[in-house]
Every structure is written in structure tokens, then in C-alpha cells.
């Protein structure tokens, strides 16, 4: 892969992972989201549907190959695709769906926002039409698209984590590599010690990099692994719970990695991957997307280990990605449903099969195809990563908290994480976040 292509892919991945920069959704008009007594037709209708998403139409990671493949398979249905920048997607959807014109028919949904979208009436209930078809999809991805027992969107993608490492630096420091065996999973505490040693004895500039520093998606597993939960509990997950002892303990640990200069304070999520690829970092904890880029760009042999577990705790890994939802006011539900089914469910999933640059599919057959691709079979690191991703997706994946107040939650907890990484006492930062989120959520009580 050429460097320009790599950088475009990295930018696309970073944009896909970014969830804190979008504007808050408008209040909208609540809808029952009822199924409206329609079915997925056996024969394709002749129709034109409008689809809105954050992905570009052309270029690397663009939708053109997907649309071309769909139109070939379903020539009587025309898809008009419109790209909306991620930061504007929520406000645009709020305006266009609540005007009840039915445009767009289908739109991309960030999985943590499903609860908010469903509550605001932005999504049609898909339970009757698609509920029996979701066995083709990875269960955790389906769960992330549900709210109050109903299916509100179809998952397109999935994600997992790998603890990438530089074997040469570890060997020089006399450090044992992290295991890919679930029975021998490294602890966070041991990783911190090893990362420091790799700096001191192995010559690494950085001991460890979080792929997405200060982001809730990345850090949720730490308190969860320690038994502290995922940040909210109670009815509809509207009781904030981010300052319990386990959250304080694990976030103190997180802050210490920056205080001890094991991890750098100034680095951004867009810089972490290229920094690891440069060859001067011991460990790099990030999504499976980086298997391909590290394989093609790194000038060193690399290895992959399991996500660490809190000492004495339970292993958890981040998961979640994008899905697709149906406008409850769409006048073309049948045609839209055929497009959605083709994208997510049919075969290996049309989305994952047709993308030039793709996220890991939520489709089970699509995952098998994805993990059998050359980046996962052509090296020892890739083979280890494939086994890790398969295991973690089935056994340790934990979705982000499903709550109508997710946008406020994520924004405020990530402010706390940033403060902690820059030296603020963890309890002070989390107490402040607890108060701010509680106040922001009063409108939902």
C-alpha cells in the first residue's frame, strides 16, 4: 500500500472512530417507531431511495463500489447516496427526519446513539421485519442496535482490540511478550511494568500507546474489568456511575501512565498508529483495523497479544461500529429494507464484500472472510491477531453504554479523561463528571 493510500485510510479510520465531535441531537418529535404492518418483499419493487451516511461517495473507503454492486444485484432499485460530515450528521438527521417527508429513507447510525435516536422517534422499529434474520450477525453487534428489547437498526460493522507490540524492543529489554492465550492474558498492572522496562532497557521512546487516548470507547474496559461497570446503571441507564471506587482506581492507573511518561500526553488518536509503525514504541493497543496497516507499513516484525485484564478482574474489550437505520416516515420502506438486508445480511454482507477499504463486518460469514484475508494469514502477528479478534468478539466484547443521554455522557466523561491524562486527580475529575452528567440528564428523567 502506498503511503498516501495508508494515510487516507488512517484518516478514514480515525473519523469512523471519532464520536465526541458531533453536535447534540435536537429534541425531535417522538414516534412510536411501530412496524406499520409492512414486510420485506420477495420481489424487488421499482423505486428510488435516498441514503445518508458519513462515508464519502468516491475515493478510498468510498461507497461507490457498494452502490455499483447493489445496483447490479437489484437493478430496479436506485440508491441516491449523500455524504454528510460526521460532525454534522446528527443535526442534519434531526432536521430532515422530523419534517416527516421521509427523506432520507435510510441513514447511518452510530451504535451508541441508537437509544437516543429511538427515543426521539428517528428510527422505525425493525423487530418484525428483521428480528428473525439477525442470526446471520454477530450477537454483540445486534445487541448494540437494540433498545428496550426492540431492534432499531442493523449493524454493518464490528470492532475489536489487539495489543500490538514490537518484539525486538521487548527482547532487548528482557520482557516476555503478552500472550494470545486467554488463559495467560496479561494484566494491566504487569503491562505497565513491562512497558516501563521496555523504555528503560529496550530503548523505546514510548512504553505504550493507547490508540485512542482519552476516548470512552477505548477506556471503558478498564473500570469494567475492575468491576466498576460501564458508567451508567438503573432504569434506561440514566443513573450516572463514574465515580465509584473501581472507576477511581483504574483512572488513577491511567493517569499514572502519563505521569510516569510511559505514554505521551500530547499525542492525538491520529498520530498513535504512525508513531507505533515508526518502530520506537513497545506496545500499541488499538482496533483490528491496524493489522493491515502495520503489516504493510512497519519495517519490523510485529506481534499481537490479548487486551489486558485488571488484576483479579474480568476481561472486557471495546466493541461497536456503524449500523443503518430506517426513517419511520419513509415512503419506500420495502425498497429500503431490501437495500439494508443486502448490505448487512445477505451472504457475507454486501457492505463488507464490496468496500475497497472496509471495517470488520458484523456479518458472521463476512467476519470469516475478513479474518481469512492476507493480512491475517501472511505473518505470525497476523495469525495471532485473527485468533484474538475471533475470541474477543465472541467472549469479552462490551458495547458502550446504551442510553438516551449518550452524547452528553461521552462528551463529559472524555473531558474528565483528558484532565486525568494531563495530571488532574482522578477522583476530582470523576466527581466533576458525575455532577455534570447528572445535571445534563435531568431533562431525560
List, as one string, the DSSP characters of 102-147: --SSEEEEEGGGHHHHHHHT-S---HHHHGGGGGGB-HHHHHTTEE
pLDDT at 345: 97
Q: What is the pLDDT of residues 409-430, one digit of tens each?
A: 999 999 999 999 999 999 999 9
Same structural domain, 252 and 328: no
Confidence band for 201, pLDDT divided at 50, 70 and 90? very high
What pLDDT was estimated at residue 40? Answer: 96
Based on the fold, state whether residues 177 and 264 are members of the same structural domain.
yes
Say what the pLDDT of residue 270 is: 94
* pLDDT at res. 292: 92
Give the rounded percent of residues in the chain with a pLDDT score beyond 90: 84
3, part of any domain:
no
308 shares a domain with 405:
yes
215 shares a domain with 122: no
* Percent of the chain whose predicted confidence (pLDDT) is above 70: 91
Highest mean pLDDT among 5-14, 86-95, 259-268: 259-268
For range 176-185, the mean pLDDT? 98
pLDDT at 14: 43
Together in a domain, 310 and 168? yes
* C-alpha cell, 151: 431492534
CA distance 321 to 50: 22
pTM: 0.88
* Predicted confidence band of residue 120 (pLDDT cuts 50, 70, 90): very high
Extract the C-alpha cell encoding 115: 437509544
For the cut 70, the answer to whether the pLDDT of residue 358 exceeds it is no
- Residue 356 confidence class, pLDDT cut points 50, 70, 90: low
CA distance 372 to 120: 40
**Which one has a higher pLDDT value, 168 or 4?**
168
Q: Is 428 inside any structural domain? A: yes
Is residue 30 included in any domain, yes or no?
no
Residue 352 covered by a domain = yes
Is the pLDDT at 153 greater than 80? The verdict is yes
CATH (domain of 74): 3.40.190.10
Q: What is the pLDDT of residue 10?
A: 44
In a domain, 383, yes or no: no
Whole-number pLDDT of residue 379: 94
Whether residue 95 sits in one domain with residue 224 = no
Query: Do residues 205 and 179 share a domain?
Result: yes
The residue ranges of DSSP E strands in 62-205, in sequence order, are 77-83, 106-110, 146-147, 150-151, 154-155, 157-158, 161-165
Q: Is residue 42 part of a domain?
A: no
Beta bridge partners of 164: 284, 304
Q: Is residue 299 part of a domain?
A: yes
> Is residue 176 situated within a structural domain?
yes
> How many C-beta atoms surround the C-beta of residue 29 within 10 A?
12
The rounded mean pLDDT for the chain is: 91
Angle (nearest 5°) at CA 113 between 112 and 116: 130
Q: How many CA atoms lie within 13 A of 143 on its CB side?
A: 13
- What SS3 state is found at 435? helix
Structural domains in the chain (count)? 2
Residues 195 and 139 in one domain: no
Q: How does residue 88 score in pLDDT terms, banded at 50, 70 and 90? A: confident
Same domain flag for 260 and 220: yes
Same domain, 309 and 435: yes
**pLDDT at site 268:** 94
pLDDT digits 0-9 by tens, 4-49: 334 444 444 444 444 333 333 333 334 444 446 899 999 999 999 9
Residue 19's nearest CA partner among 54, 43, 57 is 54
- For the segment 427-440, the average pLDDT, to the nearest whole number, is 99
Residues 295, 349: one domain? no
The residue segments making up the domain with residue 437 are 161-319+399-442
* Pairwise CA distance, residues 49 & 70, whole Å: 13
- Domain co-membership, 290 together with 422: yes
Q: According to the model, what pLDDT value does residue 23 have?
A: 33
Amino acid at each position: 500500500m502506498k503511503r498516501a493510500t495508508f494515510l487516507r485510510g488512517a484518516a478514514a479510520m480515525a473519523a469512523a472512530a471519532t464520536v465526541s465531535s458531533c453536535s447534540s441531537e435536537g429534541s425531535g418529535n417522538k414516534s412510536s417507531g411501530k412496524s406499520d404492518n409492512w414486510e420485506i418483499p420477495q420481489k424487488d419493487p421499482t423505486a428510488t431511495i435516498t441514503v445518508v451516511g458519513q462515508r464519502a461517495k468516491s475515493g478510498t473507503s468510498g461507497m461507490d463500489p457498494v452502490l455499483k454492486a447493489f445496483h447490479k444485484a437489484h437493478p430496479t432499485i436506485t440508491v441516491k447516496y449523500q455524504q454528510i460530515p460526521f460532525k454534522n450528521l446528527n443535526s442534519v438527521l434531526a432536521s430532515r427526519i422530523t419534517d416527516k417527508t421521509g427523506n432520507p429513507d435510510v441513514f447511518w447510525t452510530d451504535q451508541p446513539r441508537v437509544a437516543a435516536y429511538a427515543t426521539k422517534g428517528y428510527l422505525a422499529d425493525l423487530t418484525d421485519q428483521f428480528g428473525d434474520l439477525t442470526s446471520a450477525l454477530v450477537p454483540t453487534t445486534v445487541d448494540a442496535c437494540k433498545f428496550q428489547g426492540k431492534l432499531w437498526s442493523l449493524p454493518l460493522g464490528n470492532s475489536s482490540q489487539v495489543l500490538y507490540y514490537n518484539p525486538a524492543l521487548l527482547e532487548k529489554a528482557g520482557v516476555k511478550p503478552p500472550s494470545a492465550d486467554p488463559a495467560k492474558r496479561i494484566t494491566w498492572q504487569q503491562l505497565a511494568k513491562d512497558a516501563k522496562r521496555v523504555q528503560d532497557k529496550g530503548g523505546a521512546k514510548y512504553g505504550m500507546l493507547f490508540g485512542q487516548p482519552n476516548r470512552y470507547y477505548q477506556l471503558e474496559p478498564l473500570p469494567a474489568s475492575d468491576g466498576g461497570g460501564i458508567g451508567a446503571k438503573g432504569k434506561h441507564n440514566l443513573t450516572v456511575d463514574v465515580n465509584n471506587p473501581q472507576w477511581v482506581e483504574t483512572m488513577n492507573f491511567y493517569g499514572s501512565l502519563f505521569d510516569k511518561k510511559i505514554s505521551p500526553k500530547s499525542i492525538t488518536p491520529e498520530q498513535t498508529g504512525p508513531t507505533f509503525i515508526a518502530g520506537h514504541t513497545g506496545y500499541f493497543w488499538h482496533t483490528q483495523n491496524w493489522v493491515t496497516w502495520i503489516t504493510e507499513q512497519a519495517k519490523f516484525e510485529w506481534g499481537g497479544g490479548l487486551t489486558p485484564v485488571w488484576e483479579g478482574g474480568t476481561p472486557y474489550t471495546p466493541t461497536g461500529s456503524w449500523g443503518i437505520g430506517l426513517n419511520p416516515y419513509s415512503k419506500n420502506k420495502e425498497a429500503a429494507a431490501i437495500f439494508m438486508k443486502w448490505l448487512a445480511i445477505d451472504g457475507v454482507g454486501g457492505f463488507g464484500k464490496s468496500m475497497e477499504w472496509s471495517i470488520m463486518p458484523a456479518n458472521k460469514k463476512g467476519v470469516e472472510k475478513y479474518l481469512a484475508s492476507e493480512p491475517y494469514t501472511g505473518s505470525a502477528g497476523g495469525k495471532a491477531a485473527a485468533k484474538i479478534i475471533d475470541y474477543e468478539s465472541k467472549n469479552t466484547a462490551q458495547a458502550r453504554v446504551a442510553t438516551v443521554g449518550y452524547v452528553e455522557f461521552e462528551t463529559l466523561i472524555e473531558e474528565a479523561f483528558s484532565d486525568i491524562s494531563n495530571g488532574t486527580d482522578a477522583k476530582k475529575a470523576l466527581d466533576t463528571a458525575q455532577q455534570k452528567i447528572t445535571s445534563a440528564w435531568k431533562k431525560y428523567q
